[in-house]
Amino acid sequence: MKKLIKNILVHADLTENSLNAINTAIKMSRRHQAVLHLLYVLDIKNLYPAERMLGPMAVYTGESFKRDTVILEGMTKAISQKHNIQCICYNEQGFLSSTICDKAAKLNCDLIIMATGENEYGSNYLIDSLPYRVLQKSSCALLTVPVKRRFDYFRNILFPVRVSSALDDKYLWTEAIARHNQSNIFIIGLLEQKEPAHFRKIRTSLANTRQWMNRARLPHRSDVRSESNLIQNILEAGRSDQSDLIVFNASTERSLKEFFLGSYTQKMIRNQEFAVLYLKSKDYLNRSKIMKLQPASS
């Protein structure tokens, strides 16, 4: 099997939240023999003080940046020596989400790992969280790690299946992680409509998924959930299975209704119970690249 995870980037802002994400990244780097990249970003959106404060603020941020750089370099050396992995640190200044994604692209990273803290936005989806903004801009996979739970291994993986799911990448990532964690996989078919044709499509998708799991010789079981609240269904299945990781098909395209009420992906990224691996389909990534290359209309 082709090595899937070779470079892992972690947003390391030296808070308690990011330390949990770094711990997960260390464990994954060891298991997958991947290079671990720690990125500290001084967010320039916080560097616009009133004119009279420009001098003192510039001194403060300069000293703070130097101090955090020393701490990060020391942490990098300690991680390399203690865990016998290649660990490299970087210090950047810029807008947070853009800088994280640009660095991941330059380093050819396969995975970005970020902590998810308390939901500070409630039911307001007009303001996007940092992990969601990174997911919007990134061309690689994103793993979010809740701050209140430690993830050394992913023993139980939840694998939701929708009719609209693109499963090829999802299979590959699930197999790679499952083999390195000796995982059990719980496949759940999400029945979003009650029409017989929709049920047949879900049943076919589940059969294809089970067939793939059997060929890969991965331990698994499956079930179908039929309630209308998809995210609640997934979270309840995760609780019943004591899942460590949810492998999730992500899209940051939103309808007008979802713009105000939140999309499937936005709601999942705010969960505080499970680590979630977000994968965007190749078709979606290709569309995004084409849109970026198209000239703006005059």
| Contact present, 138 and 11 (Cβ < 8 Å) | no
137 and 199 both lie in a single domain: no
Burial environment of residue 10 by CB neighbours within 10 A (0 to 12, 13 to 18, 19 or more)? buried
162 and 55 both lie in a single domain: no
d(CA 261, CA 202): 26
17 and 134 both lie in a single domain: yes
173 and 243 both lie in a single domain: yes
Residue 222 CB coordination number (10 Å): 16
Distance of CA 90 to the CA centre of its chain: 20
The pLDDT of residue 53: 46
Whole-model pTM: value is 0.86
- In the chain, the amino acid numbered 231 is I
For 259, the token pair is 């713009």
Q: Of the given ranges (79-83, 244-248, 259-263, 276-280), which has the lowest mean pLDDT?
A: 259-263
119 and 193 both lie in a single domain: no
42 and 171 both lie in a single domain: no
Give 298 or 75, the one with higher predicted confidence.
Answer: 75
The pLDDT of residue 296: 40
212 and 283 both lie in a single domain: yes
Which residue, 199, 292, 285, 286, is CA-closest to 249? 285
Outline where DSSP puts E strands in 55-102: 87-94
Can you give the CATH number for the domain in which 29 is found?
Answer: 3.40.50.620
The pLDDT of residue 235: 92
The pLDDT of residue 271: 85
Grade residue 51 by pLDDT with cuts at 50, 70 and 90: very low
102 and 52 both lie in a single domain: yes
Last residue of a domain, one of 119, 149, 179: 149
Report which listed range, 40-44, 50-54, 83-87, is most confident.
83-87
d(CA 55, CA 191): 59
As a whole number, the mean pLDDT across the chain is 84
The domain of 223 spans 154-298
d(CA 216, CA 245): 19
Last residue of a domain, one of 130, 149, 168: 149
How large a percentage of the chain has pLDDT more than 90? 54
Tell me: the pLDDT tens digits for 277-298? 999 875 444 444 433 444 443 2
Report which listed range, 36-50, 152-166, 231-245, is most confident.
231-245
Indicate the number of domains in the chain: 2
Give 228 or 247, the one with higher predicted confidence.
Answer: 247
Give 255 or 142, the one with higher predicted confidence.
Answer: 142
27 and 141 both lie in a single domain: yes
Last residue of a domain, one of 125, 149, 173: 149
pLDDT reading at 142 higher than 50: yes
Please state the rounded mean pLDDT for residues 88-108.
Answer: 94
108 and 179 both lie in a single domain: no
The pLDDT of residue 57: 43
Sheet holding 141-146, edge to edge: 87-94, 35-43, 7-11, 111-116, 141-146, 275-280, 245-250, 156-161, 184-190, 220-225
186 and 289 both lie in a single domain: yes
Q: Give me the residue label for tokens 């942490």.
A: 75
Q: Of the given ranges (62-71, 143-152, 201-210, 280-289), which has the lowest mean pLDDT?
A: 280-289
Please state the rounded mean pLDDT for residues 130-147.
Answer: 93
- In the chain, the amino acid numbered 149 is R
Contacts of the segment 215-219: beta carbons below 8 A, 24+ positions apart: 216/171, 216/175, 218/174, 218/175, 218/178, 218/179, 218/183, 218/185, 219/183, 219/184, 219/185
pLDDT reading at 165 higher than 70: no
Grade residue 242 by pLDDT with cuts at 50, 70 and 90: very high
Spell out the residues 6+ positions from residue 152 whose beta carbon is closer than 8 angstroms to its own: 23, 24, 27
Grade residue 61 by pLDDT with cuts at 50, 70 and 90: low
124 and 185 both lie in a single domain: no
- In the chain, the amino acid numbered 119 is N
The pLDDT of residue 48: 54
Please state the rounded mean pLDDT for residues 106-112.
Answer: 97
Give 179 or 67, the one with higher predicted confidence.
Answer: 179
